[in-house]
Structure 1
Amino acid sequence: MAAQEALRWRYGDVDDGNFAVRGRGVPVLVVLLGVLVCFVAVCLYLRWACHRYNNDRRAALPRYSSSSSAAALASPAPVAAGLDDDAIAGLPVTLYRPAGAGGAGAGATADDAAQCCCSICLGEFAEGDKVKALPRCGHGFHPECVDPWLRDRASCPLCRASLLAAAVTTKPGDGVGSEAA
């Protein structure tokens, strides 16, 4: 019974002196409050700076909208980074022959034997498949696989060798296929 009476207390019995902060507690609490305020201020500043940086980057990018006229007015025409259609069409296309077919005199090299699949679609070349060999590095791909890549980027998808100088020398007017792959 005495334990139950000890747990009972009335609001008026609580002395406010028990909650007083004395001695070193006051400066410690002030320092902790200052650190908390500084931390919140730094977090808010970083959030503001990141949003400002991202908004500046978004403003520099072209905006796309559903209306083509609004898009044309909002941003200039994008600059093509890849090759044009004439340069892509000027790249030599050959028929694939496996290294063992026709002996060594059939134009097969050790490099051809090592490359037996298109590294874009990962499909193996079959005898008679069309293969577009890039002039700088000699890597071969299916034309339908490599043409979209070359429209976007002027480099080999496998080794990233630049094709800009090679595209100038293999334009259709310069004699298609005159350059050995």
Structure 2
Amino acid sequence: MAAAQELEMQSFHWHNTELDDHNFEIRGRILYFFVVLSAVVLLVALFLLYSRWLCRLIQPSLANAPDAPPSLSQGLDPTTINALPIIMHRLKSTPDVNTVGDEENECCICLGEFEDGDKLKILPKCRHFYHGECVDRWLSTQSSCPLCRNSLRVDSVVPSPISQ
């Protein structure tokens, strides 16, 4: 029994100075599979990068195609933006038809208060108004009112049925 305990003690006796690397060997077959696997991973990564580049190259040309449907996030054209009515902001003490009341006294785009003499643009469908520069920037990228999201696009007019 003493021999078994002594054998057990010797098998767990380690020295930090002894390094046993005899079991770590790279044989020809393992090296071959490692090289092939690395090449396959590299080729797949290159293929994905190439396909991403190709999609980005083709994408803008598809957006300019005449048959492409208009994007909903696309803004309005500059002529439509410039055609919006402009009014001057005046204090409520001087009533006028073109005067904006005090119920809305700040631009919800820039959060700046309207001051006397500011040029405001009114959106035709919802009658919300904003600083001219603010709403121009907004409408160049979006086609809806910033406040109520009412669309400002002019859709094709469908003729109404004539009542008899």
* TM-score bin, normalised by smaller chain: 0.5 to 0.7
- Within the candidate set 9, 12, 37, 2:8 is matched to 12
- Within the candidate set 111, 114, 122, 1:122 is matched to 111
Letter in 1 for 2:75: G
CA distance in 2, matches of 1:11, 1:112: 99
Overall identity of the aligned pairs, in %: 38
Report SS of the residue matched to 1:132.
strand
1:95 equivalenced with 2:88 (yes/no): yes
**Which residue is equivalent to 1:164?**
153
Structure 2: which 5+ runs fail to align?
10-47, 64-69, 158-164
Residue 77 of structure 1: how far off its partner (Å): 5.8
CA distance in 1, matches of 2:88, 2:7: 96
Residue 75 of structure 1: how far off its partner (Å): 3.2
Alpha-carbon RMSD:
3.4
CA distance in 1, matches of 2:149, 2:7: 79
- Within the candidate set 64, 70, 75, 1:82 is matched to 75
Q: Do the aligned partners of 2:86 and 2:119 also contact (CA within 8 Å) in 1?
A: yes
Report SS of the residue matched to 1:145.
helix
CA distance in 1, matches of 2:104, 2:141: 24
Report SS of the residue matched to 2:101.
helix
1:131 equivalenced with 2:120 (yes/no): yes
- Within the candidate set 97, 103, 122, 1:107 is matched to 97
Residue 116 of structure 1: how far off its partner (Å): 0.5
1:153 equivalenced with 2:142 (yes/no): yes
Q: Do the aligned partners of 2:87 and 2:98 also contact (CA within 8 Å) in 1?
A: no
CA distance in 2, matches of 1:88, 1:139: 14
When residues 76 and 95 of structure 1 are mapped into structure 2, their CA distance, relative to the original with a 3 A threshold, is same
Q: How many residues align?
A: 105
**Which residue is equivalent to 1:4?**
none
Letter in 2 for 1:107: V
Which structure would you say has the larger RCO, counting Cα contacts within 8 Å and 6 or more residues apart?
A: 1
Letter in 1 for 2:61: P
CA distance in 1, matches of 2:143, 2:84: 12
